């Protein structure tokens, strides 16, 4: 009962955090859209063009913007004129429709340890996201073990250790320069021996070359399969929403070489260009699974298109 209450309270908090985190994008988007309507109650062709500019400047992306504009044109020709409210409604509905929902994951058999591999370039928020994912699993009463797969920088293991101490979860780590595949392999063996529900592995974002990094991640995936042929069950790429277009190239490189199941889009709280989420879904076809809206462990939310769009406008 208490737990149920806790979870409900947690959901409310998360909702508020998402709304707070999207404030910059919301203010930019809605204020600029409202300005387009200043003194007018109906939409005509000129206004539609101005709306197009606002959407593009929020990084919604060319083809997503085109879809939204087409919906507005269709609605306009059907109804002759549109109020501001009707216009917002068309924009919101089209935005929700643009986002493909991830296909349902097959449930793991009971007693199986789920393996989650967190990848991405340096500084995007991988280690912080690992901590946030741990917290989410804990709220679901899952037992979690963390693997310190970023052995490239000394500070990386310490940063993860600090999080794990705070969250009170076991961590498997070795000295700097250790083979990440060996660390993560050990971590999964240990997680299985301890009957953990989930093992989450942090990884390095930079090596001497990109080829090195990809080879290393490939090796990690390969050795995990020696223990569980289906592992990793999820390879998630972390992207920094404030970096704009470069994020697209990162997904392309990682997904071509190691395969990606989903995206964690971080730092949405730090940008007015949260519209990038539409461009990502549209262009990459890789689902956004979580969004990061702050530096704390509670600042991660499952990405739900409808809630996201509501938060963008309300
Ligand atoms: N504002 C904000 N900062 C974040 C978020 N996620 C991570 N950070 C910060 O980004 C910086 C780099 O994060 P870190 O997890 O070390 O990145 P890594 O190099 O990919 O492991 C840290 O200062 C984090 O606190 C987020 O969603 N919002
Ligand atoms: Mg890190």
> What is the 3-class SS of the chain, one letter each residue?
CHHHHHHHHHHHHHHHHHHHHCHHHHHHHHHHHHHHCCCCCCCCHHHHHHHHHHHHHCCCCHHHHHHHHHHHHHHHHHHCCCCHHHHHHHHHHHHHHHCCCCCCCCCCCCCCCEEEEEECCCCCCHHHHHHHHHHHHHHCCCCEEEEEECCCCHHHHHHHHHHHHHHCCCEECCCCCCCHHHHHHHHHHHHHHCCCCEEEEEECCCCCCHHHHHHHHHHHHHHHHHHCCCCCCEEEEEEEHHHCCHHHHHHHHHHHHCCCCEEEEECHHHCCCCCHHHHHHHHHCCCEEEEECCCCCCCEEECCHHHHHHHHHC
Give the ligand at the shortest distance from the Cα of 120.
1
Ligand 1 atom closest to Cα of residue 202? 21
Closest residue by CA, ligand 1 atom 25: 295
Instruction: Please check whether residues 194 and 298 belong to one and the same domain.
Output: yes
Q: What is the mean pLDDT of each run of 10 residues along the chain (314 residues)?
A: 68 83 89 82 83 89 93 92 90 89 69 94 96 95 97 91 97 92 97 97 85 93 96 96 86 91 94 86 86 94 90 84
Please state, in angstroms and as integers, the Cα–Cα distance from residue 99 to each residue in 165, 175, 309, following that order. Answer: 37, 42, 10
CA-CA distance, 120 to 238, in Å (whole number)?
5
269 alpha carbon – ligand 1 mean position (Å):
11
What is the pLDDT, as a whole number, of residue 145? 98
| Contact assessment for residue 306 and residue 298, using Cβ atoms and an 8 Å cutoff | no
Q: What is the dihedral of CA 86, 98, 253, 133, to 10 degrees?
A: 90
CA-CA distance, 137 to 146, in Å (whole number)?
12
Q: Examine residue 219 and state whether it is found in any structural domain, yes or no.
A: yes
Instruction: Please check whether residues 74 and 152 belong to one and the same domain.
Output: no
**CB within 5 A of ion ligand 2: which residues?**
126-127, 156
Instruction: Please check whether residues 77 and 223 belong to one and the same domain.
Output: no
Instruction: Please check whether residues 130 and 253 belong to one and the same domain.
Output: yes
What contacts 24, CB < 8 A, 6 or more positions away? 269, 270, 271, 272, 274
What is the pLDDT, as a whole number, of residue 4? 64
166 alpha carbon – ligand 2 mean position (Å):
17
Instruction: Print burial letters for 269-283: b (CB count within 10 Å at least 16), e (below 16).
Output: bbbbbbbbbbbbbbb
CA-CA distance, 87 to 71, in Å (whole number)?
10
184 alpha carbon – ligand 1 mean position (Å):
22
180 alpha carbon – ligand 2 mean position (Å):
13
- CATH number at 180 reads 3.40.50.300
What is the pLDDT, as a whole number, of residue 275? 87
Closest residue by CA, ligand 1 atom 17: 125
Q: Examine residue 12 and state whether it is found in any structural domain, yes or no.
A: yes
Instruction: Please check whether residues 238 and 205 belong to one and the same domain.
Output: yes
* Number of domains the chain contains: 2
CA-CA distance, 17 to 77, in Å (whole number)?
39
Ligand 1: lining residues by beta carbon, under 6 Å: 120, 122-128, 205, 238, 266-267, 269-270, 292-295, 299
Q: Examine residue 109 and state whether it is found in any structural domain, yes or no.
A: no
Domain that holds residue 77: 1-98
47 alpha carbon – ligand 1 mean position (Å):
39
Domain final residue pick, 53, 69, 98: 98
Q: Examine residue 8 and state whether it is found in any structural domain, yes or no.
A: yes
What is the pLDDT, as a whole number, of residue 99? 84
For residue 149, list its beta bridge partners. 203
152 alpha carbon – ligand 1 mean position (Å):
17
What is the pLDDT, as a whole number, of residue 104? 62
Given ligand 1 and candidates 157, 200, 295, 299, which is best to mutate, with the most ligand atoms within 8 Å of its CB? 295
């Amino acid at each position: 009962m208490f737990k149920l209450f806790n979870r409900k309270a947690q959901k409310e908090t998360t909702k508020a955090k998402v709304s707070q985190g999207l404030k910059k994008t919301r203010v930019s988007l809605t204020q600029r859209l409202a300005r387009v309507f200043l003194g007018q109650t109906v939409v005509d062709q000129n206004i539609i063009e101005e709306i197009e500019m606002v959407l593009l400047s929020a990084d919604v992306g060319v083809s997503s913007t085109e879809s939204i504009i087409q919906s507005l044109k269709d609605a306009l020709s059907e109804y002759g004129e549109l109020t501001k409210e009707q216009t917002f409604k068309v924009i919101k509905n089209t935005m929700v429709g643009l986002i493909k929902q991830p296909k349902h994951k097959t449930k793991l058999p009971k007693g199986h340890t789920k393996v989650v591999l967190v990848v991405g370039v340096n500084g995007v928020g991988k280690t912080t996201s690992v901590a946030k994912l741990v917290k989410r699993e804990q709220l679901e009463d899952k037992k979690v073990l963390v693997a310190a797969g970023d052995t490239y920088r000394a500070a990386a293991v310490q940063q993860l250790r600090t999080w794990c101490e705070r969250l009170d979860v076991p961590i498997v780590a070795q000295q700097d320069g250790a083979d990440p595949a060996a660390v993560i392999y050990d971590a999964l063996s240990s997680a299985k021996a301890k009957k953990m529900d989930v093992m989450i592995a942090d990884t390095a974002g930079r090596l001497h070359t990109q080829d090195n990094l990809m080879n290393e991640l490939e090796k990690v995936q390969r050795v995990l399969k020696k223990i569980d042929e289906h592992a990793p069950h999820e390879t998630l790429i972390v992207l920094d929403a404030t970096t704009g277009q470069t994020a697209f190239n990162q997904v392309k490189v990682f997904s071509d070489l190691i395969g990606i199941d989903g995206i964690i889009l971080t730092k949405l709280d730090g940008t007015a260009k949260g519209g990038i989420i539409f461009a990502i879904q549209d262009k990459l076809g890789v689902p956004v699974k979580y969004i990061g809206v702050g530096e704390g462990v509670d600042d991660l939310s499952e990405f739900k298109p409808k809630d996201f769009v509501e938060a963008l406008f309300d």
